Amino acid sequence: MPGRSSLLFLSSSLLLALAASVPLASAQDAPDLFLTPVSNAPFSAVVVVDRSVVRSDGMVGQFKSIREVGRDSRGRIHNERRALVPANSSKTPELIRIHLYDPETRTSAMLHPRKKVFWTTTINHPLSTVPPNMIYSAPPGSSAPQNEFTREEDLGVREFDGVSAHGVRELQTISADNVKDAVITDEYWYSDDLRINLMVKHSDPRTGWVTLTVSQITRAEPDRAFFEIPDNYRQRQGEE
């Protein structure tokens, strides 16, 4: 099981790198939601991203984004990355990147929508079929020993668009120069049915918080074009 310090989706350095405002085309958007490339569990959905950033002057910036995700019956995945926009903006966040993966060929493709280019790589080993850092998935007693600074809470079961998910919260208390006994919180709501996290939360009083929520879940087979590289994209030899 991965170490607790390797958070699923967030690094504090990325949060601190955000400026006072985030332009539509900024690459400093919220991180990816891990999609497991499992077969016979097709779906499509929209991921809603809410994010706050604590700036060096103590002010808090509020941002949002959305992205489309999906998986077909063959286990192929489509995972988007979009820019953050101010929380009160009515503009659609710019599409920055599309990740396609085919577990049958182990081909990973990254698409750059603005330049209409793509590059591909072949993965040497199969991707994991469970999200990283699923802290509650280990058998009882097999996780890292608890101490006075960390604890876990079982949040029970709830539904997201009719899909059941089990929630777990991990809290870690640390000492910081500007915050006394800062409590860092990570929360995961995992669906055994879809084999993905339907909600992920991270909160750190020193840097901010981020929430990714899977919504508008459709269990039908997505259009095959959703997992294919468009004809008007040209291939590049390396990542840009």
Instruction: Dump pLDDT digits (tens) for 77-134.
Output: 999 999 999 999 999 999 999 999 999 999 999 999 999 999 999 988 777 776 765 4
20-29, 124-133, 138-147, 205-214: least confidently modelled range: 20-29
* Topology given in CATH for the domain delimited by 12-31+39-227: outer membrane lipoprotein receptor (LolB), chain A (2.50.20)
pLDDT band at residue 56 using 50, 70 and 90 as cut-offs: confident
CB 158 within 8 A of CB 143: no
Q: Which two tokens stand for residue 202?
A: 């991270």
As a whole number, the mean pLDDT across the chain is: 80
- Distance of alpha carbon 216 from the chain centroid: 16
Report domain extents, the chain.
12-31+39-227
pLDDT of 16 above 70: no
Closest by alpha carbon to 36, among 120, 82, 101?
Answer: 101
Instruction: Dump pLDDT digits (tens) for 139-195.
Output: 333 334 455 667 889 999 999 999 999 999 998 887 766 666 788 899 999 999 999
Q: Average pLDDT for residues 59-82, to the nearest whole number?
A: 95
- In terms of DSSP bridges, do strands 60-71 and 234-235 run parallel, antiparallel, or are they unpaired? unpaired
